[in-house]
Structure 1
């Protein structure tokens, strides 16, 4: 019997995409394929692409071109395959298959067909699939962390966003399915679960007829997992029931990633945001009062068509007023297929860059002050990396989410990868903290 080919997966894009990559790896390994982390040694390279904005597409294309020049057999999967399947097959002769954003579960069949000499296009016109806890998965994140998708797709039609076109409408998994998967991950030693979907506060609407995030969090409170984090929380979906579930469920971290995008009602309305400009100070103050220990992260888009200097000043004052722990700022990217693509009143790129820089300059001293306030406290830290040369560990407290927030650099011997240890914070800069392993005693979480 001929030996099965070796396959490597090149992952690009968001953590939702990462879950798809991990399921493909799991399915391939279960089917007996050799999975290798080296693209150079692999017979096939599966490139799981991103097509969210132009910069992401450019990164995907660069990866594809480099692999093609190395004469690799390429299987293109993910959002870019969903977006440009015909063009990809035409432009990249080395591509032996394209697989859509909701067709990744067919990867074994695709490889088998390719092995028989077929050139495969497996792209559903309307994405509908979502994997559950029964689908094999090979995790690629650090051993202490796992992302769990609670829903796929999006029912909203924000003017700048192409996700519904690439991922379809929202489809939620059942509470039972999610709890079962989290229990499985707990048995594997996972310390932190990050619940993700496009609109996590809308979880369950399509399945149960109303949002069920509060019920899901309460159910997950029964699982032996130290940290459960939510990405992403739309402010208007933070009902009193959801806030109570966050507050009263001990392993749910009061960390709120609020994808606000802007503060001015006119821009929010032009963006066709779900709340049509109703994100105001009253909503923010209510959340702060009901969750006084919450950590707040948000993202903003500057340079949306029609954004005046007055609109931008409104945003800068909003950032100063609310003192977010973490802020990300993006410049507007016009995406074909979205409502904003044909809008007039475009902002010049240099103006967008200037506004982005101004907003980050406002945020930096705020972030630095938040970090300085941690000095002297002892906090739980999830250890994720070790520097074998210095013996220093690197991890995060509950205040930092992976990839997007800061890190904590830890000195001391009583720590191991994937464990949570108490660390006394001794130093801080704008984004990161520094500390040493502390004796196990009473400590606070930051």
Structure 2
């Protein structure tokens, strides 16, 4: 064992065993839980409740209760009459979906949406904590909002989402940005009416962040973006505790929605004419493990495959929970698409061990083999971190070789940055930035090469494209995605937006395809 490997082993010893547990720790003391009646839209004064990462680490064995009686108190139904709200969203699809819920609540309170900060009576920043850059963007925006708040004292400015679940973030806002009116977390979005009312009445900042996750609230209103693609949350939280990741602390333990509630929501979207849905979860293929029935993601997707909706996707997966049943169901095809996002994070078994990913390089490659055997044409994409503490040149080369071996057609690549409160944040971040950047550059060059090669295979082919709207670069060009999530640009009438049409590809690029509309559009029921 060389010096670098000894350091990595020492890192594991620093956090093992408790910090690396992914299952419920039955020896932890139970925390006092809020009475379930208090969880559902009841109007009572908000109290100062800051986040606590130690509490957030604890996993209660209790299954989350499900509630169907959310309601906005009658006296608050017209609170927003004649007023407008703006929500800025940072981060993942889960945050986008949370924004849809908050927009739904505010709309039901009488508020109207606006994109103009100067017109807004409420501005909410729905934040992401997964990368340092995301936090920096939010604090930059907070700074930009200060003059507007001074100009409009009645403006309500709130910070919510994953950053709100971090102690250091809340303390920084309390000390440096006292003009913020309200801070709330990921577990109490349904409390928005009461928190907003309190922020309007109070002279102090309203802070309510539950470090222990709440129950599942089923009938929250939503204002979805468009009528083409919809997000459907099937579970919340993550129990994996990868050593670099803040998500288990900000999103809580894994809690699955009941299958019948999910299926009802998908049927409702199908009836409204949605062409594509994406099933969401921080660790989506752990779905059902906390339920009192033998039922997993494969079973859920098999039922959803029978619903008349053209396209069904899911994200994001953890390789450890990607089981044979799911592969079997996906291989049947139909409306279940074979574009699979499967984060690997590193190609080195040693680095994966220190990350607490709980699979090896060999395990991952065996999973890929199973997927390729069942679905030879499946498109695989991934997430990769470079420059993890003590990552050697040899270990990084293993990552490059795995990327090449699997043939990823796209990847989200990141330079490692410590997240306060995670085990890895206690370790020395000892890879020089110039080394991290050089590794990222090499990795991106390989991913770009593989993406361009994959795109060339579409030259001359006719593909089915779900038309989402005008191209961001040219309003005279339409754009949309293929079944395997390739972006296609082409000229066509605006009337086909929202339809699935056939496009013949005449030019391929690294990340996009250009084509021409085939005369006969694909009929969509």
The equivalent residue for 1:393 is 478
Greater relative contact order, per chain length (Cα 8 Å cut-off, separation 6+):
2
The equivalent residue for 1:403 is none
| Count of residues paired in the alignment | 436
The equivalent residue for 1:344 is 428
1:65 aligns with 2:143: yes
Q: Offset at 1:414?
A: 7.8
The equivalent residue for 2:121 is 43
1:98 aligns with 2:183: yes
| Secondary structure, counterpart of 1:40 in structure 2 | helix
The equivalent residue for 1:8 is 86
Answer yes or no: is the 8 Å Cα contact 1:427–1:433 preserved in 2. Answer: yes
Answer yes or no: is the 8 Å Cα contact 1:179–1:220 preserved in 2. Answer: yes
Normalization by structure 1: what TM-score? 0.92
1:225 aligns with 2:299: no
In structure 2, which of residues 398, 404, 408 is the aligned counterpart of residue 314 of structure 1?
Answer: 398
CA distance in 2, matches of 1:190, 1:312: 42
Q: Offset at 1:37?
A: 2.7
Q: Offset at 1:234?
A: 2.5
CA distance in 2, matches of 1:86, 1:235: 36
In structure 1, which of residues 79, 83, 86 is the aligned counterpart of residue 162 of structure 2?
Answer: 79
In structure 2, which of residues 314, 319, 324 is the aligned counterpart of residue 235 of structure 1?
Answer: 319
- Cα distance change on mapping 1:426 and 1:339 into 2, 3 Å: same
The equivalent residue for 2:208 is 122
| Secondary structure, counterpart of 2:87 in structure 1 | strand
Runs of 5+ in structure 1 lacking a partner?
A: 401-405
Answer yes or no: is the 8 Å Cα contact 2:500–2:521 preserved in 1. Answer: no
CA distance in 1, matches of 2:345, 2:471: 37
CA distance in 2, matches of 1:248, 1:423: 25
CA RMSD after TM alignment: 2.1
Runs of 5+ in structure 2 lacking a partner?
A: 1-77, 150-154
Answer yes or no: is the 8 Å Cα contact 2:471–2:489 preserved in 1. Answer: no
| Secondary structure, counterpart of 1:64 in structure 2 | helix
Answer yes or no: is the 8 Å Cα contact 2:281–2:315 preserved in 1. Answer: yes
| Secondary structure, counterpart of 2:243 in structure 1 | coil
- Cα distance change on mapping 1:158 and 1:277 into 2, 3 Å: farther
The equivalent residue for 2:245 is 161
The equivalent residue for 1:271 is 355
CA distance in 2, matches of 1:89, 1:44: 19
Deviates more, 1:272-281 or 1:418-427: 272-281
Answer yes or no: is the 8 Å Cα contact 1:85–1:123 preserved in 2. Answer: no
In structure 1, which of residues 25, 46, 58 is the aligned counterpart of residue 103 of structure 2?
Answer: 25
Q: Offset at 1:210?
A: 5.3
Q: Offset at 1:382?
A: 0.8
Answer yes or no: is the 8 Å Cα contact 2:469–2:497 preserved in 1. Answer: yes
1:330-359 deviation digits (Å, cap 9, x = unpaired): 111111111111223621111111101101
Q: Offset at 1:102?
A: 1.1
Normalization by structure 2: what TM-score? 0.79
Deviates more, 1:181-190 or 1:412-421: 412-421
Alignment of 1:154-193 (within 5 A): 154-193=238-277
1:409 aligns with 2:489: yes
Answer yes or no: is the 8 Å Cα contact 1:414–1:437 preserved in 2. Answer: no
